[in-house]
Amino acid sequence: MTNKYEEVLKQYNCNLDDAQIRDAVKQLIAEKVLENDTPEVKKFLLGSVEMTTLKTTDSDASVMAFTEQVNKLDNEYPDLPHVATICVYPCFAEAVSQTLQVEGVEIACVSGSFPSSQARMEVKVAETKLAIADGATEIDIVMPVGKFLEGDFEGVCQDIQELKEACGENVPMKVILETGCLKTASNIKKASILAMYSGADYIKTSTGKLDPAATPEAAYVMCQAIKEYYKKTGIQIGFKPAGGMNTVMDAIIYYTIVKEVLGEQWLTNKWLRLGTSRLTMQLIDELTK
């Protein structure tokens, strides 16, 4: 007897071949990436960056200094777009909120017992609500990966639904799939569908705390899932690759995948985000040479 979550998955092609996905991504990169290596694309990417600090050594003082970097960059480079978001632990939402001076930069908090998602639901909900009360305008949570791998799709969806209720309609919620733990394209596709079905406003590849983090193959599968979900429901879901983006070309590859799979409709900093900090100055350096 199938439950409603398995019935949802039956509506999508989740029987994917990993080798075929690798080949498709390799071909797409070879044929399309170079045409996107332009100043216009790099400007767009800068405006999609989520400046992130998620260190054990973070403190109020260090996070305020981190936020001041965003203020400073906006003053120093008025002709370039500001980053999309500052992403921190929930206990620093207030520090960012009090320090941030750049209009339009969102404050995202990783919540729900990041990066493991291993906590009682009451704790996850409380942490999420407190982050929003302290100034978070977006919330990033981690899908309960252990439940997913055991086939407890109902448990996965209930967790996501409950945290989305805690966020409310006005605070977008990103669901991190931790694709490196899911291993196969089929699992990544299933996790994407379940997360969107359960209320995710964005799906995100990784926490950046485990290897492998974001990969082009995972991004390709997730974007396919977003496209199919949009066709069936009319609901547009955002995408965020995170972790392992070391170069500007890495970011251009993800941009290219989104452009080719999802199309121009997703090429705004509302629907495409990049979870990285190191690319901020790399992009600025390339744009101001």
The catalytic site residues sit at 140, 204, 240
Are 245 and 208 spatial neighbours (Cβ–Cβ below 8 Å)?
Answer: no
What CA–CA distance (Å, rounded) separates 280 from 278? 6
Q: What are phi and psi of 86, to 5 degrees?
A: -110, 130
Encode 182-229 in three state secondary structure: HCCHHHHHHHHHHHHHCCCCEEECCCCCCCCCCCHHHHHHHHHHHHHH
Query: Beta strand 49-52 with 274-275: parallel, antiparallel or unpaired?
Result: parallel
| DSSP-assigned letters across all residues of 135-187 | T-SEEEEE--HHHHHTT-HHHHHHHHHHHHHHH-TTS-EEEE--HHHH-SHHH
